[in-house]
Chains A and B, each alone.
Chain A
Amino acid sequence: GAVVSQHPSWVICKSGTSVKIECRSLDFQATTMFWYRQFPKQSLMLMATSNEGSKATYEQGVEKDKFLINHASLTLSTLTVTSAHPEDSSFYICSARGGLTFGTYGYTFGSGTRLTVV
């Protein structure tokens, strides 16, 4: 089945530094990847949608310069949290969608990254 690998699982960084999170589709080509943010005991909020080879589409209220998304290949998308602050601490999850039709692959989620900014 389709597998999405997300790394790292957790990361602690100092305020002002940048953190990169990777999301790889292991056995399929993901033409579209989604990045979500989740606060404790809350639902997933879509941050942005990335299509391979083009600029990401950000949801309203999400800072493009703060959350840099790169989808350079059909199997890799990265989210970089720049100049991280404690309020950026959250659980970030990627999801990949691939194949010719929705029914073929559906959506596969990474295992998430717990970011703590101190």
Chain B
Amino acid sequence: SQQGEEDPQALSIQEGENATMNCSYKTSINNLQWYRQNSGRGLVHLILIRSNEREKHSGRLRVTLDTSKKSSSLLITASRAADTASYFCATPGGSNYKLTFGKGTLLTVNP
């Protein structure tokens, strides 16, 4: 079953604009991760935010986490055409820390 629900499911913006994607999850978490997937490719880890953190930055990425609302957001600033990809949030859990993914947001950045 899916742990997270991202919205929007699809987002189309112009180069230079900011893109914000949201993720909600259901159970308590130790951390939440964001991944990127280019079409037909594997996933690339973008950023991890721990449950005791509220905000984290990495380059043009900014992630927030609100454990009271069980939600997270990923902001990509000054987007580029190369940012076009699907973005997923994921949370580890269970005895093997298996990752459970949200439904993802397809981001299209138009040049």
| A positions within 8 Å CB-CB of B | 4, 6, 32, 34, 41-44, 46, 49, 51, 57, 91, 93, 95, 97, 102, 106-112, 114
Contact = CB atoms under 8 A, between A and B. Distances in A.
A34 B101 CA distance: 13
B98 A34 contact: yes
- Looking at chain B's contact residues, the main secondary structure is strand
22 contacts: A6-B42, A32-B97, A34-B99, A42-B104, A43-B102, A44-B88, A46-B99, A49-B96, A49-B98, A91-B40, A97-B97, A102-B31, A106-B33, A106-B45, A106-B48, A107-B99, A109-B42, A109-B43, A110-B42, A111-B41, A111-B42, A112-B40
Contacts, number: 56
How big is the B interface, by class? Answer: 20 to 34
Interface of B: 2, 31, 33, 35, 40-45, 48, 88, 92, 96-104, 106
B45 A107 contact: yes
Contacts of A4: 42
A41 B106 contact: yes
Given A6-B42, A95-B99, A109-B45, 8 more contacts: A44-B101, A49-B98, A51-B96, A91-B40, A93-B43, A97-B97, A102-B97, A114-B40
